[in-house]
């Protein structure tokens, strides 16, 4: 129904910034809740940010609040994750996820998302 492709990951030093992009297929992108998840080796996958269909309602994990910003451009079928002041503990594979959900409040639960991208690796050196 929808395909997601992440890009923008890479190797950076602590304190640097990265901007991840998630390009989504489908004409109904504006109806989809979008989320950013990350998973490091040996760690559970966690939601770091999410936004509702319009981008007006946002969720951030406490670990990234104040450093990460997510937004969406429905005209481009793209969601972004701006990551500033990166820390080594941010090192993980980052996944874009989507779910058809017209609710005003985005959901941070992994099981609420139906579609997933392949992920993009973010590595932050100390």
The per-residue pLDDT for range 64-105, each reduced to its tens digit, is 999 999 999 988 999 999 999 999 999 999 999 999 988 889
Task: Please state the rounded mean pLDDT for residues 45-71.
Answer: 96
Contacts of 1 (CB under 8 A, 6+ apart): 26, 114, 115
Q: Is the pLDDT of residue 23 over 90?
A: yes
Give bridge partners of residue 71 from the DSSP assignment.
Answer: 80
Q: How far apart are CA 118 and CA 125, in angstroms?
A: 23
Secondary structure tally for the chain: helices H, strands E = 0, 11
């Amino acid at each position: 129904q929808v395909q997601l492709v992440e890009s923008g990951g890479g190797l950076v030093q602590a304190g640097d910034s990265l901007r991840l992009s998630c390009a989504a297929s489908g004409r109904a992108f504006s109806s989809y809740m979008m989320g950013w998840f990350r998973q490091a080796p040996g760690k559970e996958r966690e939601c770091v940010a999410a936004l509702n269909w319009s981008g007006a309602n946002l969720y951030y994990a406490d670990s990234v609040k104040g450093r990460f910003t997510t937004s969406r451009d429905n005209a481009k079928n793209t969601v972004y994750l701006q990551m500033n002041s990166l820390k080594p503990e941010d090192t993980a594979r980052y996944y874009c996820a989507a779910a058809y959900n017209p609710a005003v409040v985005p959901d941070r639960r992994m099981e609420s998302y139906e579609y997933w991208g392949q992920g993009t690796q973010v590595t932050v050196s100390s």
